[in-house]
Amino acid sequence: MSILILALLVTLLLFLLYYHWQRRHLYILASKLSGPLALPIVGNGLTFMCRSEDILKTISDIQRRYPKPIRFWFGPVLTVLFSAPQHIEKILTSSKLAYKHDFYSILQIFIGDGLVSNLESILGTKIDAQLGRNMEYVQATADTYQIGYKRIMRPWLHPDIIYNCTSGKKQQDHVVKVTTTFVKEAIDTARSRIKKRKNAENGQTTAIIDQIGELIEKDRESMTDVDFLYHMYTLYLASEDTMTVITAILCVCLGMYPEYQKKASEEIREVFGETPRDVTYHDITKLQYLDMCVRDVLRLIPIAPFIVRKAIEDFHIDNWTIPKECAIFVSIFDVHRDPEHWDNPNHFHPDHFLPEVVTKRHPYAYVPFSAGPRGCVGKILAFIGLKLIMANILQRFEIEADGKFSDIVLRSDITVRSQSGYRVRLKKRMWR
């Protein structure tokens, strides 16, 4: 019996030696970089044993304490954090680093292999949340971010065998059921519309779900029903949350900084006159100052504050060799607040995007939609949609809000949002 135990111990020891030898390049890199103290097995996991709303602050605090790039361990996964524009450029434009890290596989539970754009234009279905309809679906889409982010940032919850024993698994199953049921119904409705149009031969549609549905009808091999469902939910999820949060924050910022609202409203008055009317695409192209306002809000709350890529082979960045299987963590949130590139990093300041200022700044100091081969496909539509919404609001209302942007406590759950809501006062606009 003692011989068997000894043999098992020797086998285990040999396995551990082989395991760590295979990972020696990770350890070598980690020894050359600064970062918080890591413990065996859990790494820096205990650092993230905090409330979900505090994780954004935790990561920012780590960046202030250590010279960059910074290393930390998500359990056994070595992660190297970069936030310098010259490094971000190399990472986002490299085809070798165009692979999402395995952390994102957690989100596949909700969106499958979907793509990652206003609400009705995606699904061709009126959500009418403002009227209290479809609230179970609306809440489920909000929970998707929170549940997925909470699990991603807690490495001990990554294994299914552990996560399936937690209350989060029950919440996850409920969200998946609600969202997939809603999108399936939207797809069925879209296919019914397509058939009616085909029979009547009358006109085209603007809903993305109809356009893709028509392509699938012509070529059934182009996409499976499961892929269709996940693509539609991903597009909806990305656009709905993005448009909602950025519009809300932009309203707050214009209320907090009336000098910038005055410039934006004067531009609105020049383009539309003093009587509110519908906004055309031609109008949107004239709203250059409003465009600067949108861009600075996207600086303050980028679509994704962090991006995580996986090295599929060794990759060189300046003096560092990033070994295969290393996780590369790009902190968009912090490069957007680097005082080296921004005059007023913690305040709403549209003048950051004056043409003469933009030309002096490194282009990768501003990447709200990521960049390179995995850049956001909805970037142009997002800008158009945001300017369209704000043009309609500013034609009709003056916005008031208290404080300054630095007073807003932010949190992160895939995207960035306020912890305390979006408090504004609207007054009917009376042109003076």
pLDDT of residue 116: 42
**377 pLDDT tier (thresholds 50, 70, 90):** low
| Dist. CA 236–CA 211, nearest whole Å | 15
Q: Domain coordinates of the chain in residue numbers?
A: 33-428
Residue 301's nearest CA partner among 251, 245, 252, 254 is: 245
Angle at CA 415, nearest 5°, toward 117 and 340?
A: 110
More confident residue, 159 or 422: 422
Q: With pLDDT > 70 as the criterion, what percentage of the chain qualifies? A: 81
pLDDT of residue 412: 79
**255 pLDDT tier (thresholds 50, 70, 90):** very high
The token duo for 432 is 């003076």
pTM greater than 0.85 (yes/no): no
pLDDT of residue 118: 43
* Beta pairing class for 425-428 and 306-310: unpaired
Would the pLDDT of 27 be above 50? yes
Would the pLDDT of 122 be above 60? no
pLDDT in tens, 309-334: 888 888 888 888 888 888 888 999 99
| Dist. CA 57–CA 18, nearest whole Å | 38
| Dist. CA 179–CA 200, nearest whole Å | 32
**417 pLDDT tier (thresholds 50, 70, 90):** confident
Contact 76/43 with Cβ under 8 angstroms? yes
**104 pLDDT tier (thresholds 50, 70, 90):** low
Residue 32 has φ and ψ, to the nearest 5°, of -90, -10
Would the pLDDT of 269 be above 70? yes
Second CATH level (architecture) for the domain 33-428:
Orthogonal Bundle (1.10)
Would the pLDDT of 208 be above 90? no
**Mean pLDDT, residues 164-169 taken together:** 84
Would the pLDDT of 53 be above 80? no
**Mean pLDDT, residues 64-84 taken together:** 88
**293 labelled ligand-binding:** no
Question: If you compute the radius of gyration of the chain from its CA atoms, what whole number of angstroms results?
Answer: 24
Would the pLDDT of 124 be above 80? no
By three-state DSSP, how is residue 252 classified? helix
